[in-house]
Amino acid sequence: MLKVGIDIGGTKIAGGVVDDAGNVVEKLRVDTPVDTEALADAVADMARHFAQSYEVAAVGVAAAGFIDKTRSVVFHAPNIAWRNEPLRADLERRIGRPVTIENDANAAGWGEYRFGAGRGVGDMVMLTLGTGVGGAIVSRGELAYGGHGIGGELGHMRFMRDGRLCGCGQNGCLEQYASGRALQREANDIADAGGIGAALAQVREEKGTIPGPAISRLVLAGDPGAVEALRRVATALGEACGGIQAVLDPELFVIGGGVAQLGETLLEPVRLAYETSLPGYGERPVADFVIAQLGNDAGLIGVADLAGRSV
């Protein structure tokens, strides 16, 4: 059975035809329109394009935002002007067939659970480190949504009392300390301090900013300033995972997003901080930590599979 999965990002819409094994048969990317009407048209056009060439059984759409427990209405989206938007009904009208709507982090987490790093595990947490921190919880083989449908927003756990202002309107959220943006902030602070930040300061002088890929290159080269910036971010993530373990007790943490490209260089300090933050460490089972496997396709694969479950 073939399904269409469409992942709406802040700048790109990625769509693909996905088979039952999680393989992407065909893929397409277009720019994300700013206007919400044009965005809905772009999603519908993509779904219809795939349906012209394939026998499509279901359509799934993933987007960042708070989605109600019926998976029909987007209460709030951070990068798109959706407020109490009846997205599922609108897309079903435009596409002419049933549509499954899912939060983008949940979709990516489900994709990894079904076809990626989480295969064979019953209880899993995925954290994606990008501009912010996305989260997905799989409990006993099912996505955990909570009472209102918007559970799993792990990036917006309060990590630091009276901490940094977050885009969600609160202070001290985890994503202000453990995201790609947080890594850049730490790198700039270290560059400002001089000393071990000399190489970071040189990059900033040359480029006008310190981009994430440059930090990664310096980390892999062993630059002490970049390594320290990563250690701070990894420590925040690991400490948060210790708290998540106390509440959810997952078997596995899957780490995705741009920062995860550092692989074991990231996971080693994450594990250390996790272990030292874990209640009863040394006398209880602990979770494994792995890097996500599906990359940027995780969301479209996951939401396509979720759509197929509804057929």
| Rounded Cα gap, residues 65 and 80, in angstroms | 9
Q: Does 115 reside within a domain?
A: no
Q: Are residues 138 and 259 in the same domain?
A: yes
Q: Does 80 reside within a domain?
A: yes
- What is the pTM assigned to this prediction? 0.95
Q: Does 142 reside within a domain?
A: yes
CATH number of the domain where residue 13 is located: 3.30.420.40
Cβ count within 10 A of residue 159: 22
pLDDT digits (tens, 9 = 90+) for 44-58: 999 999 999 999 999
Residues of 70-84 as b/e, b for ≥16 C-beta within 10 angstroms? ebbbbeebeebebee
If you average pLDDT over every residue of the chain, what do you get?
96
72-77, long-range: CB within 8 Å, 24+ apart, which pairs? 72/101, 74/101, 75/150
Q: Does 99 reside within a domain?
A: yes
**Smallest Cα–Cα separation from 298: which of 157, 153, 102?**
102
Q: Are residues 32 and 66 in the same domain?
A: yes
pLDDT digits (tens, 9 = 90+) for 93-138: 999 999 999 999 999 999 999 999 999 999 999 999 998 999 999 9
pLDDT digits (tens, 9 = 90+) for 131-165: 899 999 999 999 999 999 999 999 999 999 999 99
Q: Does 226 reside within a domain?
A: yes
Residues of 223-257 as b/e, b for ≥16 C-beta within 10 angstroms? bebbbbbbbbbbbbbbbbbbbbbeebebbbbbbbb
Q: Are residues 288 and 304 in the same domain?
A: no
Q: Are residues 146 and 226 in the same domain?
A: yes
Helix (H) or strand (E) holding 230: helix 224-248
Contacts of 162 (CB under 8 A, 6+ apart): 171, 172
DSSP for 123-161? SEEEEEESSSEEEEEEETTEE---SSS----GGGSB-ST
Q: Are residues 166 and 79 in the same domain?
A: no
Q: Are residues 184 and 97 in the same domain?
A: no
How many Å from the N-terminal Cα to the C-terminal Cα in the chain? 10
279 touches 246 (CB < 8 A):
yes
Q: Are residues 99 and 130 in the same domain?
A: no
Q: Does 116 reside within a domain?
A: no
Q: Does 241 reside within a domain?
A: yes
Q: Are residues 105 and 139 in the same domain?
A: no
Residue 282 confidence (pLDDT): 86
| Rounded Cα gap, residues 86 and 99, in angstroms | 12
Q: Which two tokens stand for residue 170?
A: 């609160």
Q: Are residues 180 and 49 in the same domain?
A: no
Q: Are residues 130 and 60 in the same domain?
A: no
Q: Does 98 reside within a domain?
A: yes
Q: Are residues 162 and 250 in the same domain?
A: yes
| Rounded Cα gap, residues 125 and 289, in angstroms | 10
Domain region containing 222: 121-292
Q: Are residues 20 and 161 in the same domain?
A: no
Residue 10 confidence (pLDDT): 85
Instruction: Count how many domains the chain has.
Output: 2
